Amino acid sequence: MPKSLREKISEILVSKGWITKEKLDEAIKVQHDKGGNLSEILVGSGLVKESDLLLIFSQELSIPPINLAKYAIDKELISLVPEKIARLYKVIPVSKLGNRMTVAMADPLDIFALDDLKILTKYEIDPVIATAKDIADAIATYYGADELSIKKIVEDVKTDEAVEVVSTEAEERFDVSSLAIESKKAPILKMVDLIVNEALKRRASDIHVEPAEKDLRIRYRVDGALSEFMVLPKTNQNAILTRIKIMSAMDITEWRLPQDGRFKVKMEEREIDFRVSTLPIVYGEKVVLRVLDKSSIKIGPEKLGFLPKTLEEVKEAIARPYGMFLVTGPTGSGKSTTLYSILNVLNTPERNIVTIEDPIEYELMGITQVQVRPEIGLTFANGLRAFLRQAPDIVMVGEIRDFETADIAIKASLTGQLLLSTLHTNDAPSAITRLIDMGVEPFLVASSLVFVCAQRLMRKVCENCKEKIDIPKEALEKLGFKPREKASFYKGKGCAKCNNTGYYGRFAILEDLIIDDAIKEMILDRVPSDKIKEYAVREKSMLTLRTAALEHLAMGNTTIEEVVRVTAEE
């Protein structure tokens, strides 16, 4: 009678001296009493190395092994296998060719897994062998950590010895050496890695690590809305904060002053920057990690969600050889991403492009970027003066904050440079008033300014769970919505993909003001910004933020709640 696979593997393990007959019998008894997989029992009890078992399985079954750490798996492929199935059977898709899919499996003899995968994916399945740990790591990477994994790490942190938090007044007495050691312990490392990885999986734009009186709260901002991710024990607060400060190259001995730092991670062949800011508060230090995904700035203005009319006007404005191009809006409205996307389009070998920023959010190849350092006298104004001696074609100033910067920027735009910058104003025409209020002469504003746009970000309805709805005519009229054909309204029901919010992703809306001769005359006459806006809407058909939002509402891209939340009444 031929031997079973289990008997063959057992013989090989004993004959190679990797396990004694007695230990093997004990493992088989555990399997008989408690159930489970013999391989997992042997590995879990430390009797056999997982890599040794992988080699034996491969040889006996003539199925090739695979090192998943060396593979970057395509997102489209991952979407073919539901997360529940991947976790249930410990499998992960690796590649597909024609009607065949290669799947890494911890147990390639699991016929139930093979049958279910074939039915679900509609592909013929070719199994390869990987260790259970490698598959679990790959599942966590591509699907995100499951609740059990998160709970396990949190429990490890809770049970691990931690440096006791002292009062704010006594922070200067911290034992820094013990904190540095504490921050490198396995549970702390796992927790910080988990916080960062889950933020990337959930498409968070920033991570808030917030000390409270009795605990440490972790929150993510996804699509502009903050939500709580987890609450950790207070005793681990300083170890976690120290770990983040070490990663960000900050001074771990300084707890009383704000600090800034940054670090990079690689995820699925993408390089992602984290800009880190600390702020001393009553119960310790609050840390905010801003997630900066470089791939978002390489897509160009066409993919930012601009309406066709707006996109055309933006392209015409940046095609100008000189003049000032301003983007306005509050913090977090996507101004920097828009300017970087425009720079990416303008970045050609024949152009000399320079930027002065505070801070530098994205590092761009082929562009000269300077970080403002006021402590040594390198301000926006001084940097701009230096730039103009290096014959730039295009200059970007991170933000115009004062008269000196505005004055030099305007003069630069009048002497042959295209100057891009940002301002904090509520709408486009208000940028004119703001510059004049800073002390800039109206004739300089009128001569230099070619284009101003106010920007906001709106949440997009989740395509996976969107459903058509009716909106009362009275509600639409109150918003200023004009009836039109083919208007469709949608709302997201909420699903796993959008974390039950009904929204997935964001797009930009612009209020764009083209400076023509009539507006130049108004600037010279110091006409109020609301009159300039009335003229632009009436004579130039300018899309305001509200009308741009209503256009997207009619196209089914967003909801009426978002229109009200993001745009003001006009």
Q: Using the predicted structure, report yes or no on whether residue 9 has a pLDDT greater than 60.
A: yes
Interval 224-234: pLDDT, tens: 888 888 888 88
Max mean pLDDT among 31-45, 50-64, 202-216 falls in 202-216
Interval 245-285: pLDDT, tens: 998 989 888 888 999 898 888 776 677 889 999 999 998 89
Closest listed residue to residue 464, CA positions, set 427, 502, 435: 502
pLDDT of the residue at 2: 47
480-508: average pLDDT: 83
Interval 430-450: pLDDT, tens: 999 999 999 999 999 999 999
CA distances from 498 to 104, 223, 264, 502, 564 (A): 28, 10, 26, 6, 21
pLDDT of the residue at 495: 81
Token pair belonging to 454: 């106010």
For 209, phi then psi, to 5°, come to -110, 110
Q: Using the predicted structure, report yes or no on whether residue 345 has a pLDDT greater than 60.
A: yes
The alpha-helical segments, DSSP class H, found in 90-145 are 111-121, 132-143
56-72: average pLDDT: 75
pLDDT of the residue at 270: 73
pLDDT bracket for residue 184 (50, 70, 90):
low
Residue pair 200/477 in contact by the 8 Å Cβ criterion: no
- Give dist(CA 263, CA 28) in Å, integer: 48
Q: What is the mean pLDDT of the chain?
A: 81
421 forms bridges with which residues in the sheet? 326, 397
36-51: average pLDDT: 63
